[in-house]
Amino acid sequence: MKKLNIAIIGLGNIGSHLFDYLSDNKKFLTEKNNCIPIVKYVSAKNKKKKRKIKIKKDQWLSNYLDSTKLKDVDLIIELIGGAEGPAKKLVFQALKNKKHVVTANKALIAKYGDQLAKIAEKNRVNLEFEASVCGGVPIIRSLKEGLIANKISKIYGIFNGTSNYILSTMDKQNKSFNEVLSDATKLGYAETNPTADLNGDDVSSKLKILSSLCFNSFLNNKIYVEGIKDIDKADINNANTLGYKIKLLGFAELLNKKIYQRVHPTLIKKDSYVASIDGVLNAVIVDGTPVGQSTIQGEGAGPAATTSALISDISSILRGNIKFPFSLSNKERKKLKFSDISNRSFSAYLRFEVIDKPGVLSNITNIFSKNKVSIKRLVQNPDKNKRSSSIIIITHNSKDKYLKKILKIVAKKNYVKRKPKLIRIDDN
C-alpha cells in the first residue's frame, strides 16, 4: 500500500481539528483513497503552548521550515494564515522543494496564487486551496471538476458568514449593528479583529480566486469592494418595507467580454433564494452553459466545515491526482479585460436624511433628472419632532458613475443631516 507523509504547520483552530480528524479517520481515508495518510510532523509557533491534541515527541519540528527540506515529507498543510510572513515563506519554499501543498489561506492565494501555481506546475506538485473559499462549501472542486463542461457567465453569493450573521440578526431581532457585532464576538462567529469580515476584504479575496477559476484568467485586483459597516437598522427596515433584504454579496460576471468583480451590500427580493440564507451560512450560485443555474450552500467557516474541505484536497493528493492549481496550465490562462463598475448599470436604493423644509424634495429630484437617473419609487418619512425627513428613492437602471455623482452632489447640500446612502439592487 502506498503512503503519503504529511506535515501540518499551524495547530490553531483549524490545524488541531484536522490533526484529530486524520488520526481518527486514517483507516477510512486509506480505504477511500488506496493510500495511507501519515501525519509525520507538526509545527506551530510556540512549542510550550498547551494543546488539546496529543503530539508525539518525534512529530514536533522546532523550525517549521524544516518541513520543506525533509525527504520524508510529501505534503505540507499550511494552516498559519496571512498573505505575508511565515505562511508565504513556507508555501513558496515547499513548492520550490517539490512538496505538495494544501492551504486554507485565502489571503495568500488571492495575492500570490499565480506565482505559486507557476512553481507548482513546473515542479509537478499539487497546490490545493478548497478550504480557502467558503469553508465546507466545495465550490472550487465543483468548478474544477463537476462543472468542467460549462462556460460560466456569473458567480455570486454570500461568501462571509460573519457579515451574513450580523445582517440577518439585525433584521430578525431588530438590534443595532454594534449590539449584534458584540453578540457575534461572544458566540465566536466574529474574530477579535473582524475588520476583514466587515469591510469586504475577506469576500474580495475569495471572489478573486473564484473569478479566476470561472473565467480561466489570472487573478485580478480590479474589484469594487464595500463592506457592511454603514448599514443601520433604518436601512434594514426600509428594505423590508420595500420588499427586499440586505445581504453582503460578491459578484463576478462576464458582460460583453469584460469581467466585473464587485463586493457590496445588496438589496435582493425578499422571496429570492439568497434572501433566505441566514446566519453564518454561505451560498454560491453559478450561472453556466449548459448547466443553467447551480447552487451550493453550507457552513462557510469553523473547524469542522474547513476540515471537510481540507480532507477533500488531501484525498485528491492521496489518489495521485496531480492537477493545475487553477484548473488549466499557466500557459492557457488568459489575460482578460477586467472593468471597474462605473459604466455598469444598476437599479439602486438611495437614502437621504434631510431637514424637513419646502423645496428640498424638488431639489433632490432635479439633481436626479439632471444626471440622467430616473426614479422608480420615492418614499418620504417625515419626523415632525426632529424637523427632519428621510427620503428613500429607488431608481431605474442607471450607470454607477451617475448614481455616485448624485450622492456626491446631494451630500454637499446644507439641508443634508448625514452622509447619504447608496445600496445597489440585484433584481435577478
Ligand X SMILES: NC(=O)c1ccc[n+]([C@@H]2O[C@H](COP(=O)([O-])OP(=O)(O)OC[C@H]3O[C@@H](n4cnc5c(N)ncnc54)[C@H](OP(=O)(O)O)[C@@H]3O)[C@@H](O)[C@H]2O)c1
The burial of 228, by beta-carbon neighbours within 10 Å (0-12 exposed, 13-18 middle, 19 or more buried), is given as buried
Question: φ and ψ at 350, to 5 degrees?
Answer: -120, 140
Q: Which residue has the cell 498559519?
A: 80
**Residue 45 engages ligand X in binding (rule: CB under 6 A):** yes
Question: Distance between CA atoms of 139 and 391, rounded to whole angstroms?
Answer: 40
**Residue 12 engages ligand X in binding (rule: CB under 6 A):** yes
Question: Distance between CA atoms of 66 and 348, rounded to whole angstroms?
Answer: 54
Closest residue by Cα to residue 345 from 260, 244, 286: 260
Q: Which of the following is catalytic: 206, 208, 247, 421? A: 206
**Is 206 annotated as catalytic?**
yes
Contact (CB, 8 A) for 319 and 33: yes
DSSP category for residue 413: S
**Residue 312 engages ligand X in binding (rule: CB under 6 A):** no
Type of residue numbered 205: S
Single residue of 8, 301, 373, 394 touching ligand X by CB under 6 A:
301
Stretch that binds ligand X, among 225-233, 300-308, 332-340, 382-390 (CB under 6 A): 300-308
- Least separation in angstroms between residue 407's CB and ligand X is 34
Stretch that binds ligand X, among 77-85, 206-214, 270-278, 324-332 (CB under 6 A): 77-85
Nearer to ligand X by Cβ, of 108 and 364: the residue is 108
Single residue of 39, 73, 79, 249 touching ligand X by CB under 6 A:
79
Single residue of 7, 15, 158, 277 touching ligand X by CB under 6 A:
15
- CA 370 from chain centre, in angstroms, equals 37
Stretch that binds ligand X, among 73-81, 240-248, 316-324, 367-375 (CB under 6 A): 73-81
Single residue of 302, 345, 347, 407 touching ligand X by CB under 6 A:
302
CB atoms within 10 A of CB 295: 12
Helix pair 303-318, 13-24: axis angle to 10 deg = 60
- Least separation in angstroms between residue 65's CB and ligand X is 9
Site string for ligand X, 131-150 (x = CB under 6 A): x---x---------------
Give residues 220-279 in contact with ligand X (rule: CB under 6 A): none
Which residues face 8 on adjacent strands? 42, 77
Nearer to ligand X by Cβ, of 165 and 338: the residue is 165
For 121, the enclosing helix (H) or strand (E) is helix 106-122
- By the criterion CB under 6 A, which residues form the site for ligand X? 10-15, 43-46, 49, 64, 79-81, 86, 104-105, 131, 135, 301-302, 306
| Residues labelled catalytic | 206
